[in-house]
Amino acid sequence: MTLPDETRRQIQSTIDSDRVVLFMKGNRHAPQCGFSAQVIQLLNLHLDDYTTVDVLQDPAVREGIKDFSNWPTIPQLYVGGEFIGGCDIITELQQDGELKAAVAPK
């Protein structure tokens, strides 16, 4: 699937809007899948504030973020405009003691 320019701009604008942005199913207070819930739980250990985007609210973003990042699953975490990864990578970073530094303000 080719990512429409409008959707690409929307996703990029969202990523640029905050240092830490999580594209997920549901929201921070009501995750709608176990993987999103797990990433929220890990981020909450290290951050008081970050942006979440409920991909269930916009089918174009839900599919578009996969093309944007070239990553097939949701959730997807961006820090400082860079794609970090999905649930497995975030969990691994936490287990390795690297997540705190990865999301810490620079």
Q: If you average pLDDT over every residue of the chain, what do you get?
A: 96
Nearest by Cα to 10 from 74, 75, 60, 57? 60
Asked if residue 105 has pLDDT above 90, the reply is no
**pLDDT above 80: residue 27:** yes
Local structure of 79: helix, strand or coil: strand
At residue 53's C-alpha, the angle toward residues 6 and 79, to 5°, is 90
Instruction: Compute the distance between CA of residue 69 and CA of residue 58 in angstroms, rounded to an integer.
Output: 17
Cα distance between residue 99 and residue 8, in whole Å: 27
- pTM of the entire predicted model: 0.95
pLDDT higher than 70, residue 22: yes
Which CATH number does 5-103 carry?
Answer: 3.40.30.10
Give the pLDDT of residue 55.
97
Q: What is the pLDDT of residues 35-64, one digit of tens each?
A: 999 999 999 999 999 999 999 999 999 999
What are the boundaries of each domain within the chain? 5-103
